[in-house]
Copies of this chain bind each other. A is one copy, B any other.
Amino acid sequence: MDAYSDRIRTLQPSAIREILKFTSYPDVISFAGGNPAPEAFPVKEIKEIMDDIMEHEPVTALQYSVSEGYTPLRDTIKDDLYAKGILNWNNDDVIITAGAQQCMEMTAKVLCNEGETIICEEPSFIGSLNSFRSYNAKLVGVPMDDDGIDPEKLEEALKEHRRTAFIYVIPNFQNPTGRTMSLERRKQVLELAYKYNVHIIEDNPYGDLRFAGDNVPSIRSMDTKGHVIYAGTFSKTVAPGLRVGYMCADKGIISKATCALQVSTVHTSILSQMIVHRFITKYDFKAHLERLQQIYGHKCDLMLTNLKMKMPKSITFTEPDGGLFIWGTLPDGDMDYFVKKAIDSKVAIVTGRAFLVDESKPTLSFRLNYSTPTDEQIERGVDILANVAKTMYK
């Protein structure tokens, strides 16, 4: 017997997660994931913190808690967001979620009726697209260039789709392209949101992982009208297994998101929240972030240097200033064949189609991750990719 809801009937597991099953074979080099580098986890510090929690506040860590989140963690995040101009104390609030992914799911639930439109960058993060699909949203992709989403095409989409709930963007080191949206573009996107009276979700999982270039102000820091919902996470900066992220938005939206969270997870694991709070306040979090930036900057540089040296010149790559991903594009031909040949040669990369609104559309691009593999795997993996590519391209 099955009688699934309309919203869920056609939903499929993430294509990337299917690829990841293949990458668990020990002889496969995976450029397919998006996991933080395991050597970056603060294991010793988290062990100390757990001991301290279980010594002094075990009942707080084990008992039910409030849906909004652990107050000391919320306060710490609010202070940080206020310092960055992202939180306005009078109008805004913060709720703790099970990673930034839950922010996407809850925002779609709170703001988007079935059949309404959500506009996103194309390509974009498949996890978020699937969370929007899970509410039967109509996804509309807008192309990007090196400065981010194309503002003219964004306005065309807003004109055409009058029942748009929000625009979804990842301004810093976008997944999958690694691109950063320019300040000018951020202002244009915000103005268009005002003009067409829609919200923006600003998803910023990688913002603290900048290893090159100058910081660009977040869209929410320029928002004077409460249109922007900001999603952050500790998955890339502390540990994803703990599932701790947060949403900052105007108080009305946070109050509805709190209802949505209360009926789903009741509250985010309080033990996880206490671990994150202690780590970012009782240890040198700034030094920890600098160490992460150093690790990812080095790995990105190593992969790009190898790609430039070894791959055919006709294949191009983005050069990210942070984050976890490089976006490669073939000059022509059959990207699926290239990805398949790479996987046959035991290097897993992700087809660009996984990041499209319509996965059946053609694309010449593919995504490479440099955060999870070791240096040696990066060098050897690019060697293998280059050998595959040289049989196809000059």
Contacts and interface: CB of A to CB of B under 8 A. Distances in A.
A35 B13 CA distance: 35
Nearest to A11: B259
| Copies of this chain, tallied across the complex | 2
A110 B136 CA distance: 12
Given A43-B54, A253-B2, A272-B272, A265 B101 contact: yes
A258 B13 contact: yes
Contact of A63 (B13, B241, B272): B241
Interface residues of A, number: 83
A219 to B, nearest CB: 15
Interface string A39-51: 0010100110011
Given A1-B197, A54-B50, A243 B263 contact: no
A143 interface: no
B63 A38 contact: yes
Contacts of A134: 109, 259-260, 263
Nearest to A265: B98
A76 interface: no
Contact of A110 (B8, B101, B255, B271): B8
B47 A62 contact: no
Interface string A17-38: 1000000000000000101101
Interface stretch (A111-119, A354-362, A380-388): A111-119
Nearest to A2: B252
Interface string A252-280: 11011011101111111111100000000
A299 B265 CA distance: 28
A62 B102 contact: no
A131 B243 contact: no
A197 B61 CA distance: 43
A312 interface: no
Among A66, A130, A239, A241, max chain B CB count under 10 A is at A241
B8 A259 contact: yes
A59 interface: yes
28 contacts: A2-B250, A2-B252, A3-B111, A3-B165, A4-B256, A5-B109, A8-B109, A14-B262, A41-B63, A43-B58, A47-B51, A50-B51, A60-B241, A61-B241, A62-B239, A63-B240, A64-B235, A98-B98, A99-B265, A101-B263, A102-B264, A131-B263, A134-B259, A134-B260, A134-B263, A241-B271, A242-B269, A264-B264
Interface of A: 1-8, 11-14, 17, 33, 35-36, 38, 41, 43, 46-47, 50-51, 54-55, 58-67, 98-99, 101-102, 104-105, 109-114, 127, 130-131, 133-134, 165, 197, 199, 225-227, 235, 239-243, 250, 252-253, 255-256, 258-260, 262-272
Given A35-B64, A102-B265, 18 more contacts: A5-B109, A8-B110, A11-B260, A11-B263, A12-B259, A14-B262, A17-B66, A17-B262, A47-B51, A50-B50, A51-B51, A99-B266, A101-B266, A127-B263, A130-B259, A134-B259, A134-B260, A241-B270
